[in-house]
């Protein structure tokens, strides 16, 4: 999942705006008090009970703290960090070391929410044993509670089975799978014709049968996502897949106005980029005008101490 990630494919529609007023209200079952720790079983119970699942990306300690304080159910440490944090033009250059480092930062911030870590490009596609080793690092070194894999190839499905069998929960990801962007020909909606839609239905069932506890549906037509959701016992979490999924996930930087491009599926709830620029400029102006640092920002020592220090330094008596 990315930010300009999830869609440089279609021009934003009139239903996307920079204000939350554009979000369409949707009836749902209110969430009860949060459990002490959200687990994969919690999310599966939410599907059964008709309670919407809320997941958002986070890549560092302060962002994860804010997400947990807001009451989200899960935080996804997405390989989208390659685009929104590291400045790459795709998710492909992100490494396992990158993901372990950022997952560790997020997991240190999260006391209650489920932390899901993306397995980056080529960390699981070529060899199941390698997938096991890399997932182990994300859980043990990174502190993640689950990992997310894209697609439903034979190798990926075997990796899901082996990881679940080893005790590592796995979230699937279908539709637009950004790690396959070069094969897909860009960031485009998937499953718009009957054969490709049938493949997504089949792949979702295969992921469930392999042991995945949930599946992300990215850039999938709403009608298809609704049918997949109805057919599965495990939760679906949509991004650009309509409102019938069991939950929703978005890239935090899109919600907060920190990415230059706003995908069609996202709504901007703040403009932190503009606010940060304003704050940096105000501080820079204060430095230039010598208004900063002020007296309240300053520590003093008496002149006798300074004179004694200069004398000691001059005689080479510094210890």
Active site amino acids: 218
Give the span between the Cα atoms of 7 and 12, in whole angstroms. Answer: 9
Give the span between the Cα atoms of 10 and 174, in whole angstroms. Answer: 19
Give the span between the Cα atoms of 282 and 307, in whole angstroms. Answer: 36
Place of tokens 């679940």: 164
Q: 57 φ, ψ to 5°?
A: -80, 150
What angle, 0 to 180 degrees and rounded to 10, lies between the N-to-C axes of helices 222-231 and 194-210? 30
The DSSP secondary structure of 220-251, one letter per residue, reads --HHHHHHHHHH-SS-EEEESS-S-SSEEEE-
Give the span between the Cα atoms of 255 and 118, in whole angstroms. Answer: 20
Alpha helices in the chain (DSSP H): 40-49, 61-70, 81-84, 96-109, 128-140, 154-165, 181-184, 194-210, 222-231, 252-255, 272-288, 303-314
Q: 199 φ, ψ to 5°?
A: -65, -40
Give the span between the Cα atoms of 173 and 96, in whole angstroms. Answer: 18
The DSSP secondary structure of 176-220, one letter per residue, reads S-GGGHHHHTSS-----SHHHHHHHHHHHHHHHHHT-SEEEEES-
Closest Cα to residue 31, out of 53, 16, 11? 53
Residue 10, exposed/middle/buried by CB under 10 A (0-12, 13-18, 19+)?
middle
Give the span between the Cα atoms of 274 and 156, in whole angstroms. Answer: 41
């Amino acid at each position: 999942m990315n930010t300009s990630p999830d869609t440089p494919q279609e021009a934003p529609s009139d239903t996307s705006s920079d204000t939350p007023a554009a979000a369409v209200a949707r009836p749902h079952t209110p969430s009860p008090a949060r459990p002490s720790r959200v687990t994969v079983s919690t999310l599966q119970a939410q599907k059964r009970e008709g309670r919407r699942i809320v997941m958002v990306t986070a890549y560092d300690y302060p962002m994860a703290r804010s997400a947990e304080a807001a009451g989200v159910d899960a935080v996804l440490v997405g390989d989208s960090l390659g685009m929104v944090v590291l400045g790459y033009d795709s998710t492909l250059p992100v490494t396992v070391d990158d993901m372990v480092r950022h997952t560790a930062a997020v997991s240190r911030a999260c006391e209650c929410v489920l932390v899901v870590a993306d397995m980056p490009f080529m960390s699981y596609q070529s060899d199941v044993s390698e997938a096991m080793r890399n997932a182990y690092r994300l859980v043990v070194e990174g502190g993640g509670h689950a990992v997310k894999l894209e697609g439903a190839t034979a190798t990926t499905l075997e990796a899901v089975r082996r990881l679940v069998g080893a005790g590592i929960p796995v979230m699937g990801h279908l539709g637009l799978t950004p790690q396959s962007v070069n094969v897909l020909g860009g960031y485009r909606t998937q499953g718009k014709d009957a054969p490709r839609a049938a493949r997504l239905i089949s792949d979702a069932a295969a992921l469930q049968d392999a042991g995945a506890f949930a599946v992300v549906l990215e850039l999938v037509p709403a009608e298809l996502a609704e049918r997949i959701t109805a057919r599965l016992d495990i939760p679906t979490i949509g991004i650009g897949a309509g409102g019938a999924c069991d939950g929703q996930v978005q890239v935090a930087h899109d919600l907060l106005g920190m990415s230059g491009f706003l995908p069609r599926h996202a709504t901007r709830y703040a403009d932190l980029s503009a606010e940060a620029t304003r704050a940096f400029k105000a501080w820079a102006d204060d430095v230039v005008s010598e208004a900063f640092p002020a007296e309240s920002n300053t520590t003093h020592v008496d002149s006798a101490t300074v004179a004694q220090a200069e004398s000691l330094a001059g005689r080479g008596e510094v210890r």
